[in-house]
Amino acid sequence: MPTLIHRLSVLRSLQNRSFALLWLGQTCSSLGDGAFTIALAWEVLLLTGSATAMGLVVMAEMLPRLIFLLLGGVAADRLPRLRILLFSDVGRGAIVLLITLLGWLHVLQFWHLIALSLLFGVAAGFFHPAYRSLTPQVVEHDHLASANALTAFSRDISTLLGPALGAGIVALVGPMGAFAFDGLSFVFSAGCLFAMRPLVVSSQREAAKDSLEKTSATPPLKGILDDLHEGWRFVVHSPWFFIGLPLATLGNIFFSGPLEVALPKLVQTAYHADIWLFGVLGMALALGSILASLLLGQLRHIPKRGTMMYGAVALASCAELLLGLSIPQAYAPWLAIFANTTVGFGLGTFGIIWVTLMQELVPKELLGRVSSIDQLGAWSLLPLGYALTGVATDRFGPSIVFLVAGSGNILLALIALIIPANRRME
């Protein structure tokens, strides 16, 4: 194993026992989530026969996740982050296993899924800021790129394999089997977290102690608002973040909307292909991101990170634009696969560098709050983006949507590249 790690620098963060346990548990949990998503869609269809019902379940999980992100960021800076992750995994595991039990008892109803999705979203809102801010607390500074690359790699592998795994379990034993698998994956992840040695370093302990002393004489709500204001003040006074966040928010809409809403219709009407091409394009997107994870994780130092990060976005934007061009039918599917792989590579590169920069440049006592602001900014407008993309696709056609979105993302990347604060990020 040491020889393999020496040859593959992307694995170097796994030399840290605590991170290895953290990564192993979350990789298993991500696979369970991928299986759960497929099983949930099938179970909702069996219960209601309605696509609208599935939308309600997704929204029931998304809304509390967004609402509690900021509170989760405050908690991540005040409380031991490992403990937050542990309670979140235990809570989500209990929720999924409760769904499983209700299903096996043949008493599961649609309103159960809505109520439990709301609770799941609350737990997820606390989980994400704590997870991102825990990584630099666990691994050495030189291993952050490796750790973030491995985290992205496990996420992409779950995207690639999770749905197929879920479909297989549903076919063999039904949706409740996939729910049980996801619930047990949370139990395994919680076990890995429990096995990690105490990770609260003295700096965070002292920062949390000072924070609690300052807010002990103030009402809890005012203390939370003061903490959020402190995180927001850092964002406003950091040009690379204050400028990059709105650009990333708009870029996320221009990428996620077409790729998730307009792509199926593009495959059907422009490429005259079936669901097989849609599935292959999804795999190509994940494979491109995996390639970025392996490449960046292998590098011990990423030069000119600001330029490379937004240059990767420009590359992905050009590939997105390519998807909307009129291509001879014989070459169109192959070009689309290449373009989607390139989009995945570009977005994967941006994500790894952006998270690593946050973990290096944001003070550790603020990282939970700043991470929650970053995630809220990235996700909050997605529902509106999906809706607008759907309307535009039906009105103007999917090819136009990809051409406009790709052009918009190229413009955003160029704006980011001409700003000196972004080019100076090292």
Exposure on the CB side of residue 271, measured as CA atoms within 13 A: 25
Q: Region 320-330: what's the mean pLDDT?
A: 85
Q: Region 360-373: what's the mean pLDDT?
A: 83
- Exposed/middle/buried for residue 295 (C-beta within 10 Å: 0-12, 13-18, 19+): middle
One-letter amino acid at 293 equals S
CA proximity to 135, closest of 293, 372, 360, 370: 360
Task: Say what the pLDDT of residue 8 is.
Answer: 59
Q: Region 49-57: what's the mean pLDDT?
A: 69
Q: In angstroms, rounded to a whole number, what is the distance separating the alpha carbons of residues 248 and 243?
A: 9
Which range scores top for mean pLDDT: 12-16, 40-44, 45-49, 291-295? 291-295
Q: In angstroms, rounded to a whole number, what is the distance separating the alpha carbons of residues 121 and 115?
A: 10
**What does the pLDDT look like over 194-228, one tens digit per residue?**
888 654 444 444 445 555 555 555 566 666 777 77
Are 165 and 35 contacting, i.e. CB atoms less than 8 angstroms apart?
A: yes
Task: Say what the pLDDT of residue 74 is.
Answer: 85
Q: Is 259 helix (H, G, I), strand (E, B) or coil?
A: helix
Q: Region 125-135: what's the mean pLDDT?
A: 85
Task: Say what the pLDDT of residue 204 is.
Answer: 47
Q: Region 81-89: what's the mean pLDDT?
A: 89
pTM: 0.75
Residue 53 has pLDDT above 80, yes or no: no
Torsion of CA 187, 289, 6, 144, to 10 degrees: -70
Residue 116 has pLDDT above 50, yes or no: yes
Q: In angstroms, rounded to a whole number, what is the distance separating the alpha carbons of residues 354 and 310?
A: 10
Q: In angstroms, rounded to a whole number, what is the distance separating the alpha carbons of residues 339 and 351?
A: 18
The pLDDT mean for the chain works out to 82
Q: In angstroms, rounded to a whole number, what is the distance separating the alpha carbons of residues 26 and 131?
A: 10
DSSP codes of every residue in 340-377: HHHHHHHHHHHHHHHHHHHHHHS-TTTHHHHHHHHHHH
Q: Cβ–Cβ contacts within 10 Å for residue 364, how many?
A: 15
- Compute the residue count for the chain: 426
Task: Say what the pLDDT of residue 275 is.
Answer: 65
Q: What tokens were used for 291?
A: 């390639």
Are 257 and 388 contacting, i.e. CB atoms less than 8 angstroms apart?
A: yes
Q: At what angle do helices 51-78 and 202-215 cross, to 10 degrees?
A: 90
Q: At what angle do helices 202-215 and 220-236 cross, to 10 degrees?
A: 130
**What does the pLDDT look like over 240-275, one tens digit per residue?**
888 888 888 888 889 988 887 788 788 888 888 876
Which range scores top for mean pLDDT: 97-111, 249-263, 289-303, 324-338? 97-111
End-to-end CA distance of the chain: 32
Which range scores top for mean pLDDT: 89-93, 256-260, 351-355, 376-380? 89-93
Q: How confident is the model at residue 12 (pLDDT cuts 50, 70, 90)?
A: confident
Nearby residues of 96 by Cβ (< 8 Å), 6 or more positions away: 36, 120, 179, 182, 183, 186
Q: How confident is the model at residue 54 (pLDDT cuts 50, 70, 90)?
A: low
